[in-house]
């Protein structure tokens, strides 16, 4: 493992070491075998839950560890650096932020302790729709209020882990787009009990490039009691935005973990592999891309740390969270390609795991928000350039 020179508190160091040691029980063969079967890492998620790593962001009064974004980032970074894939479980960590920040006390008492213990899985986050794509305010899934419940009809796509979750955090229109002043109004956020509504929800797995348990979800008069509306009706879009900063910092952490995985493996292989009677790492054509990717990843990590510290201090970190996700995903993609080049033909052999991580690392350039949209956000909102779309 290459050195990464963290400036961390003793508690943060302890978290890093503990998660690293948990991950050693789930070596790369474990992940490769699941990938081949497109199967969910149930044993791994259970181990993380039992050791309390998925509830660190939940305050102590609701059964969690009450830690911050930096600590949560360290956990996910270590999982991905070990060769694992946090995508199986990361949502359990941060999706509850909508309840924590915008829910009422009754909802916090009802949901958070059970999410903290793992009794309730809140792993599904339904925003993206086939037609709207990145233009979230154009979503069409509609929740119509009828007495003491909302009745939901519509469709989501790319709803990951829906089959491995009890609840879904759902964004739906409650007022048609042509009847609101601002297109960001009239959207509402709900906690949908998917087990209770199983006969009104159709979940169809998507055969995807990576093992991510991602699905399409169809709602046919699915019911949500009014008590499960988060915050005020019509204000869901702003609640989702506030949660996105947390998501982006954590995704940046996973991506940093992937990047360091590629650097670790590349350095090891470039030192071991001898061709033309010398280690391939002696060739600058092999060495330089690895060194450059390492520097880029270290820089992205600093932006991630900065965003995490701002988040924990309650400072608006929209720009930093987005930039961290962008920088980490791009740096890691360079590291992924450097690893493929270093491994030569063996990069393509599944038993070396590089090709699996290569596929997994590519996701973060596209999701949870595509890097084009991050660049345009920085251009418009940080630099004051004209809106491009
Ligand atoms: C494996 C996986 C898991 C996912 N999990 C979830 C999940 O759990 N929950 C969920 O809600 N969503 C999830 N998503 C969806 C993900 O957030 C979206 O795929 C992503 O936001 C991009 O939306 P889109 O695919 O509709 O692309 P589109 O919006 O159709 O964009 C296509 C391309 O056009 C570009 N583009 C579009 N508009 C502009 C513009 N104005 N300027 C410049 N470029 C533009 C984009 O950058 C992109 O490259 C997941 C996706 C994947 C692949």
Assigned token pair, 138:
């154009």
For residues 115 and 89, the answer to whether their CB atoms sit within 8 Å is: no
- Output the residue whose Cα is nearest ligand 1's atom 24: 133
- Output the residue whose Cα is nearest ligand 1's atom 44: 372
- Output the residue whose Cα is nearest ligand 1's atom 18: 367
- Output the residue whose Cα is nearest ligand 1's atom 48: 370
Q: Please tell me the predicted confidence (pLDDT) of residue 5.
A: 77
- Output the residue whose Cα is nearest ligand 1's atom 50: 158
Assigned token pair, 49:
């839950």
**Four-residue CA torsion sign, 70, 192, 85, 288:** negative
156 CA distance to ligand 1 middle (Å): 13
* For ligand 1, mutation pick of 38, 121, 124, 128 (most atoms within 8 Å of CB): 128
User: What pTM does this model have?
Assistant: 0.97
User: DSSP code of 219?
Assistant: E
Pocket lining: 389 vs ligand 1, CB cutoff 6 Å: yes
- Output the residue whose Cα is nearest ligand 1's atom 38: 134
For residues 11 and 74, the answer to whether their CB atoms sit within 8 Å is: no
- Output the residue whose Cα is nearest ligand 1's atom 37: 134
* For ligand 1, mutation pick of 130, 163, 368 (most atoms within 8 Å of CB): 368
136 CA distance to ligand 1 middle (Å): 10
Complete DSSP assignment for 97-166: HHHHHHS-HHHHHHHHHHHHHTSS---EEE---TTTTT-GGG---EEEEETTEEEEEEEEEEEETGGG-S
**Four-residue CA torsion sign, 222, 227, 229, 233:** positive
Phi-psi region of 148 (alpha: psi -120 to 50; beta: other; left: phi over 0): alpha
Cα–Cα distance measured from residue 177 to residue 138, given in angstroms and rounded to the nearest whole number: 7
Three-state DSSP class for 351?
Answer: helix
For residues 217 and 159, the answer to whether their CB atoms sit within 8 Å is: yes
160 CA distance to ligand 1 middle (Å): 13
249 CA distance to ligand 1 middle (Å): 18
- Output the residue whose Cα is nearest ligand 1's atom 3: 158
User: Mean pLDDT of residues grouped by 10 in the chain (389 residues)?
Assistant: 88 97 98 98 98 98 98 98 96 97 98 98 98 97 98 98 98 97 97 98 98 98 98 97 94 98 98 98 98 98 97 96 98 98 98 98 98 98 95
358 CA distance to ligand 1 middle (Å): 19
Helix 354-366 with 236-272: angle, nearest 10 deg? 150
The end-to-end CA distance of the chain, in Å, is 44
Assigned token pair, 210:
């990576």
Q: Please tell me the predicted confidence (pLDDT) of residue 53.
A: 98
Pocket lining: 133 vs ligand 1, CB cutoff 6 Å: yes
Pocket lining: 214 vs ligand 1, CB cutoff 6 Å: yes
* For ligand 1, mutation pick of 155, 158, 373 (most atoms within 8 Å of CB): 158
Domains of the chain: 10-117 (1.10.540.10), 124-234 (2.40.110.10), 240-382 (1.20.140.10)
Q: Which residues contact 376 (CB under 8 A, 6 or more apart)?
A: 387, 388, 389
155 CA distance to ligand 1 middle (Å): 16
CA angle 337, 258, 352 (to 5 degrees): 65
Three-state DSSP class for 356?
Answer: helix
């Amino acid at each position: 493992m290459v050195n990464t020179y963290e400036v961390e508190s003793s508690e943060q160091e302890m978290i890093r070491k503990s998660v690293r040691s948990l991950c050693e029980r789930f070596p790369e063969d474990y992940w490769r075998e699941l990938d081949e079967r497109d199967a969910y890492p149930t044993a791994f998620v259970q181990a993380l839950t039992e050791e309390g790593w998925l509830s660190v962001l939940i305050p102590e009064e609701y059964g969690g560890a009450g830690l911050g974004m930096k600590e949560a980032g360290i956990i996910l970074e270590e999982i991905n650096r070990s060769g694992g894939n946090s995508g199986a479980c990361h949502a359990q960590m941060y999706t509850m932020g909508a309840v924590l920040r915008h829910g009422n006390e009754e909802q916090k008492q009802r949901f958070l302790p059970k999410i903290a213990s793992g009794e309730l899985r809140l792993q599904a986050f339904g925003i993206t729709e086939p037609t709207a794509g990145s233009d979230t305010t154009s979503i069409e899934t509609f929740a119509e209020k009828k007495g003491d419940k909302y009745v939901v009809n519509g469709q989501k796509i790319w709803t990951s882990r829906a089959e491995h979750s009890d609840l879904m955090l759902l964004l739906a229109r409650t007022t048609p787009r042509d009847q609101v002043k601002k297109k960001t109004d009239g959207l509402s956020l709900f906690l949908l009990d998917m087990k209770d509504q199983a006969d009104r929800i159709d979940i169809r797995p998507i055969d995807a490039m990576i093992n991510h348990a991602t699905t399409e979800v169809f709602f046919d008069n699915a019911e949500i009691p009014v008590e499960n509306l988060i915050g005020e009706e019509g204000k869901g879009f702003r609640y989702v935005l506030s949660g996105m900063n947390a998501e982006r910092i954590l995704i940046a952490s996973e991506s940093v973990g992937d990047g360091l995985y590629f650097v670790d493996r590349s350095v090891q292989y470039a030192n071991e592999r001898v061709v033309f009677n010398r280690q391939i790492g002696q060739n600058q054509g092999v060495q330089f891309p690895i060194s450059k990717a390492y520097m880029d990843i270290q820089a992205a990590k600093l932006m991630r740390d900065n965003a995490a510290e701002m988040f924990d201090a309650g400072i608006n970190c929209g720009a930093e969270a987005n930039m961290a996700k962008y920088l980490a995903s791009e740096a890691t993609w360079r590291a992924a390609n450097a690893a493929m080049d270093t491994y030569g033909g063996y990069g393509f052999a599944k038993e070396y795991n590089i090709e699996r991580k290569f596929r997994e690392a590519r996701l973060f350039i596209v999701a949870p928000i595509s890097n084009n949209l991050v660049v345009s956000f920085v251009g418009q909102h940080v630099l004051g350039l004209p809106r491009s779309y």
